[in-house]
Amino acid sequence: MRQWRWWLVPLLCGWLGTALALENGEHLAPWTLLDQHDNAYTLDGNLQVLLVARGMEAADLLQVALSELEPGYLEAHRVVFLADISGMPAPIASLFAIPAMRDYGYRVMLDRTGRVASRYPGAKAQLLWLQLDAGRLQGQRRFANADELRLALEGLAR
């Protein structure tokens, strides 16, 4: 009888939980999440840009960038914002963070478990911009500055 190598478990779990690099032309696997109002959204081929925040700093960048744009700007330009809130204690999220997000003028797809956001590489302090065409990745950008992000968002209107 073979003995299982238990020391491999942490290595395998770490490897499986790590985001793999995304390649241009790659089709993003569909997922469904709830937003801050508990409305479901499923990633589909109509999306132009997926914005991914893996931490509060990145999420704050978007909030600042959107403060100078009209409400509904993201939806009008086929942009979806995905926020990884898996690191937030559930009571804090449900009692404070999510109710506060309901006042935002844009939709926030909430990844409560980290299963979706972990598919996309990125630092917690940077907002990841995934440019899509018919569900396929066309390019990636990372933003750590709200003014640069706002200019990129404004560029979608051109």
Domain locations along the chain:
34-155
Mean pLDDT of the 65-87 span: 95
Q: Cα–Cα distance between 13 and 8 in angstroms, integer?
A: 9
Q: Which two tokens stand for residue 93?
A: 């999220």
Domain topology for 34-155: Glutaredoxin (3.40.30)
User: Residue 13's pLDDT band (boundaries 50, 70, 90)?
Assistant: very low
The answer to whether residues 79 and 69 touch, using CB atoms and an 8 Å cutoff, is no
Which residues, other chains included, contact 106 with Cβ-Cβ below 8 Å and sequence gap of 6+?
62, 66, 71, 72, 73, 74, 75, 81
pLDDT at 158 over 50: yes
Helices (H) and strands (E) in the chain, counts: 6, 7
Q: What is the pLDDT of residues 21-57, one digit of tens each?
A: 788 999 999 999 999 999 999 999 999 999 999 999 9
Mean pLDDT of the 2-21 span: 46
Mean pLDDT of the 139-155 span: 97
Containing 84, the helix (H) or strand (E) segment is: strand 79-84
3-state secondary structure (DSSP) of residue 70 = coil
Q: Cα–Cα distance between 72 and 91 in angstroms, integer?
A: 29
